[in-house]
Amino acid sequence: MKIITDEKMIDEFLERGVEEIYPSKLAFRKKLMSGERLRIYQGFDPTGPYLHVGHAMGIRALGILQKLGHEVIFLVGDYTAKVGDPDKDTTRKMLTDEDIEKNMAGWKEQAAQLVDFGGDNPVRFERNNKWLSKMTLGDILKLMSKVTIQQILQRDLFKKRLEADDPLKFHELLYPLMQGYDGVAMEVDMEIGGADQTFNMLCGRDLSKNYLGKEKFVRTNKMMDAPDGVTMSKTKGNGINLADSPEDMFGKAMSYSDKHILSGFELLTDVPVEEIREIEKAMEQGENPMIFKKKMAYEIVRMIKGAEAAAAAQENFEKVFSKKGTPDKVTSMEVTAEASIVATMVSVGMAESNADAKRKIEQGGVSVDGEKITDITAKITKEMDGQILKVGKREFRKLKVKK
RNA sequence: GGGUCGGUGGCAGAGUGGUCAAUUGCAUCAGACUGUAAAUCUGACGCCGCAAGGCUUCGGGGGUUCGACUCCCUCCCGGCCCA
Taking the C-alpha atoms of residue A89 and residue A166, their distance in angstroms, rounded to an integer, is: 7
In this complex, the answer to whether residue A143 has its CB under 7 A from any atom of chain B, a nucleic strand, is no
- Residues in Cβ contact with A174 at an 8 Å cutoff, skipping those fewer than 6 apart: A83, A140, A144
In this complex, the answer to whether residue A392 has its CB under 7 A from any atom of chain B, a nucleic strand, is yes
pLDDT, averaged per 10 consecutive residues of chain A (403 residues), comes to 92 94 96 96 91 93 96 95 75 77 92 94 96 96 94 89 86 93 97 94 96 96 88 84 93 92 93 93 90 95 95 93 86 92 94 94 93 92 93 93 82
- Which architecture does CATH list for A7-221? 3-Layer(aba) Sandwich (3.40)
Rounded to 5, what percent of chain A is helix, strand, coil? 50, 15, 40
In this complex, the answer to whether residue A322 has its CB under 7 A from any atom of chain B, a nucleic strand, is yes
Could you say which residues 77-136 of protein chain A have a Cβ atom less than 7 A away from any atom in strand B? 89-90
Q: Which CATH code, of 3.40.50.620, 1.10.240.10, 3.40.50.1370, 1.10.3370.10, is assigned to A246-322?
A: 1.10.240.10
In this complex, the answer to whether residue A288 has its CB under 7 A from any atom of chain B, a nucleic strand, is yes
In this complex, the answer to whether residue A247 has its CB under 7 A from any atom of chain B, a nucleic strand, is yes
| Buried/exposed code over A343-354 (b: 16+ C-beta within 10 A; e: otherwise) | ebbbeeebbeee
Q: ipTM score here?
A: 0.88
Please give the pLDDT value at position A248. 92
Please give the pLDDT value at position A89. 63
Q: Is A329 exposed, middle or buried (0-12, 13-18, 19+ CB in 10 A)?
A: exposed
Please give the pLDDT value at position A88. 63
Taking the C-alpha atoms of residue A345 and residue A350, their distance in angstroms, rounded to an integer, is: 5
In this complex, the answer to whether residue A23 has its CB under 7 A from any atom of chain B, a nucleic strand, is no
In this complex, the answer to whether residue A374 has its CB under 7 A from any atom of chain B, a nucleic strand, is no
By three-state DSSP, how is residue A266 classified? helix
Alpha-carbon A130 to chain mean position: 24
Q: How far is the CA of A78 from the C1' of B59 (A)?
A: 31
Q: Residue length, chain A?
A: 403
In this complex, the answer to whether residue A356 has its CB under 7 A from any atom of chain B, a nucleic strand, is yes
In this complex, the answer to whether residue A19 has its CB under 7 A from any atom of chain B, a nucleic strand, is no
Q: Assign residue A349 a region: left if phi > 0, alpha if psi is -120 to 50, beta otherwise?
A: left
Please give the pLDDT value at position A10. 96
In this complex, the answer to whether residue A255 has its CB under 7 A from any atom of chain B, a nucleic strand, is yes
Which nucleotides in chain B lie less than 7 Å from some protein C-beta?
Answer: 11-12, 27-32, 35-39, 43-51, 78-80
Please give the pLDDT value at position A328. 84
Q: How far is the CA of A367 from the C1' of B43 (A)?
A: 19
Q: How far is the CA of A159 from the C1' of B12 (A)?
A: 20
Q: How far is the CA of A170 from the C1' of B76 (A)?
A: 20
Q: How far is the CA of A361 from the C1' of B43 (A)?
A: 13
Taking the C-alpha atoms of residue A53 and residue A123, their distance in angstroms, rounded to an integer, is: 19
Domain A332-402 superfamily per CATH: RNA-binding S4 domain (3.10.290.10)
Please give the pLDDT value at position A233. 83
- Residue by residue, what is the 3-state secondary structure of A289-312? HHHHHHHHHHHHHHHHHCHHHHHH
Q: How far is the CA of A79 from the C1' of B77 (A)?
A: 26
CA angle at A179 for the pair A84 and A44, rounded to the nearest 5°: 60
Please give the pLDDT value at position A311. 95
In this complex, the answer to whether residue A353 has its CB under 7 A from any atom of chain B, a nucleic strand, is yes
In this complex, the answer to whether residue A236 has its CB under 7 A from any atom of chain B, a nucleic strand, is no
CB atoms within 10 A of CB A196: 15
Give me the residue spans of the domains in chain A. 7-221, 246-322, 332-402
The per-residue DSSP string of A136-201 comes to -HHHHHHHHTTS-HHHHTTSHHHHHHHHTT----HHHHTHHHHHHHHHHHHT-SEEEEEGGGHHHH
In this complex, the answer to whether residue A370 has its CB under 7 A from any atom of chain B, a nucleic strand, is no
